[in-house]
């Protein structure tokens, strides 16, 4: 096997950051990354099992590339599907050589040594409670201006539909000292934006009891060179008012909160084991809307949860009307292995789930069309992310995490990672058009 590798990542930002850790570790072991599967000696799939289709996609991809096994290539399945399916993956895809969950990435060097010695079935699945996963020493960050820091792993909430507690384990928080140390290194290396990650990022509990989640946000936001601090994903049960107060008081904290509600019906929320009610959630929305800053709110929604009625779907729609989200990520319910909801009677047809999803997406599009209009004429700072040479535009992102395409009269386009002051000239449901000042 040649010491070249290709990695494909499925799923969330935490998986994307996990892949940065894996790439950094592989490169430290002398492996060279390629962008084409055919050129790689080792092919890795970093997997997600949060939804059924994502999991199916992994096995589809494995099936596509099993023809390459005769060329001396080796395969690794890592991440959530690996942790969920375990050694059954070897039975489904006998040409796979490594199956490893996210908590075992620090053991990759020894796994690779075993692979190079000719072992064909190597697992790393038994360590979901360790905090050492945070301390993976080598990270190959793909963006030189915006970087992730995982501050909490796992989940203790056990929502009825969610597989995360079974694949990522219990909640384990890093010490605030280690978070601050990593953030300082990133600032010294020229990063200007840091994003905290966690399945429930605001459930963070400092083992040293030195800083609350809000205090940690502020402390990183006050580091020299840091211009933006983001965090995702929050859980409503642990969303406290001091987080809003911190955003209000600290300019470097981005004015954006992603607060998944999943349903607007208290009965459905109870069935989901979300541990809050509609009124509880709306109280937190009221805190955000009462802030001095215009804080953008986004959310996740599930339609077609077992037992959801048409009336309860409309409760979700009316909640959307109240909150006026700037974006939603809405999905059809799909049963996941090991979860309580898998034993519930799923009597809602696929066609009905599709129709319900369309109701919410159509409603949200109209909400965003009106909501984005509030930015017309607004002056804002945009972080440059790319250049659209076809349209002669610069692509950037606002503090509220909105895409901003802008034009400039300068013959030299602004550098990636730089910040540009712009004025919004036109609005669309999913983006803003602006001109550089």
C-beta separation of 110 from 79 below 8 A: no
Per-residue pLDDT tens digits of the chain, which is 437 residues long = 689 999 999 878 888 898 999 999 999 999 999 998 889 999 999 988 877 766 677 788 888 877 776 667 899 999 888 888 888 889 888 889 999 988 888 889 999 999 999 898 999 876 555 555 556 667 888 888 999 999 999 999 999 999 889 888 889 999 999 999 999 999 999 999 999 999 999 999 999 999 999 999 999 999 999 999 999 999 999 999 999 999 999 999 999 999 999 999 999 999 999 999 999 999 999 999 999 999 999 999 999 999 999 999 999 999 999 999 999 999 999 998 889 999 998 889 999 999 999 999 999 999 999 999 999 999 999 999 999 877 789 999 999 999 999 999 988 889 999 999 999 999 999 999 999 99
Superfamily for 4-124?
Methylthiotransferase, N-terminal domain (3.40.50.12160)
Q: CATH assignment of 376-436?
A: 2.40.50.140
Check for a shared fold between 132-302 and 376-436.
no
Task: For residues 329 and 300, give the distance between their C-alpha atoms in angstroms, rounded to a whole number.
Answer: 5
Instruction: Return all residues near 344 (Cβ < 8 A) that are at least 6 apart.
Output: 160, 271, 306, 307
Bridge partners of 194, per DSSP, are 147, 229
C-beta separation of 178 from 152 below 8 A: no
Backbone torsion region of residue 182, taken as left when φ is above 0, otherwise alpha when ψ lies between -120 and 50, otherwise beta:
alpha
Neighbours of 186 (CB within 10 A): 23
**Cα–Cα distances in angstroms (integers) from residue 78 to residues 7, 10, 98, 199, 429, in the given order:** 10, 10, 8, 18, 37
Q: What is the DSSP letter of 264?
A: S
Tokens of 258: 């992603």
Topology (CATH) of 132-302? pyruvate-formate lyase- activating enzyme (3.80.30)
Angle 147-148-152 from CA coordinates, rounded to 5°: 160
C-beta separation of 193 from 252 below 8 A: no
Chain centroid to Cα 205, Å, comes to 20
Domain extent listing, the chain: 4-124, 132-302, 376-436
C-beta separation of 413 from 388 below 8 A: no
pTM of the model: 0.89
Task: For residues 55 and 11, give the distance between their C-alpha atoms in angstroms, rounded to a whole number.
Answer: 10
């Amino acid at each position: 096997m040649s010491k070249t590798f290709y990695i494909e990542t499925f799923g969330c930002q935490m998986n994307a950051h996990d892949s940065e850790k894996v790439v950094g570790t592989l490169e430290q072991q002398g492996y060279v990354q390629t962008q084409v599967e055919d050129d790689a000696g080792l092919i890795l799939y970093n997997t997600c099992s949060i939804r059924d289709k994502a999991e199916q996609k992994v096995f589809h991809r494995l099936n596509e590339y099993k023809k390459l096994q005769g060329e001396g290539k080796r395969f690794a399945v890592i991440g959530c599907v690996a942790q969920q399916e375990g050694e059954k993956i070897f039975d489904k895809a006998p040409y796979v050589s490594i199956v490893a969950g996210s908590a075992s990435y620090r053991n990759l060097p020894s796994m690779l040594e075993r692979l190079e010695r000719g072992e064909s079935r190597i697992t790393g699945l038994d360590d979901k409670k360790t905090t050492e996963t945070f301390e993976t020493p080598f990270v190959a960050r793909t963006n030189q201006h915006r970087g992730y820091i995982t501050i909490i792993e796992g989940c203790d909430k056990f929502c009825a539909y969610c597989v995360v507690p079974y694949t990522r384990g219990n909640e384990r928080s890093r010490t605030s000292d280690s978070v601050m140390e990593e953030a300082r290194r990133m600032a010294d290396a020229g990063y200007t934006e840091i994003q905290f990650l966690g399945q429930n990022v605001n459930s963070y509990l400092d083992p040293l009891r030195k800083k609350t989640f809000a205090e940690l946000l502020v402390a990183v936001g006050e580091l020299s060179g840091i211009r933006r601090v983001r965090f995702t994903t929050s859980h409503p049960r642990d969303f406290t008012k001091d987080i809003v107060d911190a955003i209000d008081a600290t300019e470097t904290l981005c004015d954006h909160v992603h607060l998944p509600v999943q349903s607007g019906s208290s009965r459905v929320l109870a069935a989901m084991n979300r541990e809050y009610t509609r009124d509880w959630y709306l109280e937190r929305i009221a805190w955000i809307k009462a802030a001095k800053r215009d804080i953008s709110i986004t959310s996740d929604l599930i339609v077609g949860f077992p037992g959801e009625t048409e009336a309860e779907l409309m409760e979700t729609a009316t909640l959307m009307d109240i909150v006026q989200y700037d974006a939603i990520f809405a999905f059809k319910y799909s049963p996941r292995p090991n979860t309580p909801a898998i034993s519930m009677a799923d009597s809602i047809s696929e066609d009905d789930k599709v129709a319900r999803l369309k109701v919410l997406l159509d409603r949200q599009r109209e909400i965003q069309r009106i909501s984005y209009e509030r930015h017309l004429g607004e002056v804002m700072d945009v972080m440059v992310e790319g250049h659209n040479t076809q349209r002669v535009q610069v692509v950037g992102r606002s503090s509220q995490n909105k895409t901003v395409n802008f034009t400039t009269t300068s013959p030299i386009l602004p550098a990636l990672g730089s910040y540009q002051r712009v004025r919004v000239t036109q609005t669309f449901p999913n983006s803003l058009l602006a001109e550089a000042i």
